[in-house]
Amino acid sequence: MKIYHVPCLEDNYSYLIVDETTKQAAAVDPVEPDKVLEASNSLGLTLKFVLTTHHHWDHAGGNEKIKELVPGIKVYGGSIDNVKGCTNAVENGDKVHLGADINVLALHTPCHTKGHISYYVTGKEDEDPAVFTGDTLFIAGCGKFFEGTAEQMYQSLSVTLGSLPKPTRVYCGHEYSAKNLQFALTVEPENLKIQQKLTWAKNQRQAGQPTIPSTIEDELETNPFMRVDLPVIQEKVGFKTPVEALGELRKLKDNWRG
C-alpha cells in the first residue's frame, strides 16, 4: 500500500491510496479532480473509486466532475451526510476492497458533520494501517462542532479513533498542524513532545513539505483534544469530566487567535 498526497485549494489534502500489486487506486476527497487525475495518470494508476469523508464542498465538491472524467467510478460517502455525487452510501462497519491487498473500513465519526466517515485502511500484514480522518481528527487538533456535540466528538476521537492500533498513520483533510501545535502548547506548555513536534512542523512547512501523516500514538501524546481523560487537561480548563473538558477546549480554540 502506498499513499500519495495531492495538495488542493489553499490548505486541503486529497490522497491517492494505491494497491501496488494491481496499480488500482482510490481517491480521498478529490476536491480538484483534474489535479488528482493528473497525479494518478503520472503514476500509471487506475482510479477505481472515491472515498468522501463528509459533505462540505472543500471535500465533496469535486465528486460530480470526477464522475464525468472517470465514467463509472464509484463514490462512497456517509449514508446520512447527503454527500454530493455519492453513488454508494456507507455506514459504520461497512467494508470496501481495493486491488489485491487493501481493505477499507468505514468508521462513523460524527460531530463536525452528522454523517462524517473516517476510513481505516489496511494493506499487507507487514504494513502499518492508515486512517483518513477528514475534518474530525487533525494533527494536534479536531474539527469544529458544526453538526454535533462534545459527547459525539469525544466518542469519535477518544473511543473510535483512539482505539485504533497505535502505529496507524493519520491522514487528515487540512494542513493546520503548526497552528494546532501552537495552541496545544498553550494547554500543555511543559509537554516536550508538543514542543519538539512544533519545531519539526515549522521546519517541514518552511521546506514546502507536509506535516502529515501523524500516528494515533503521536496524537495521544500531543493532541489536547485526545488527552481530555487526563486530570492535568481537565484542571487546565476547569472541568472534571472528559466531555466537558473537550467542549471547553473547543471553545478556547475557536476564540484563540494565535
* pLDDT score recorded for residue 115: 98
* pLDDT score recorded for residue 66: 98
> If you search the block for the grid coordinates 466528538, which residue do you land on?
153
Question: What does the mean pLDDT of the chain come to?
Answer: 98
How would you class 26 by CB atoms within 10 Å of its CB: exposed for 0-12, middle for 13-18, buried for 19 or more? buried
Which residues belong to the active site?
Answer: 54, 56, 58-59, 112, 135, 174
Which residues of the chain fall short of a pLDDT of 70? none
The neighbour count for residue 166, using CB atoms within 10 Å, is 14
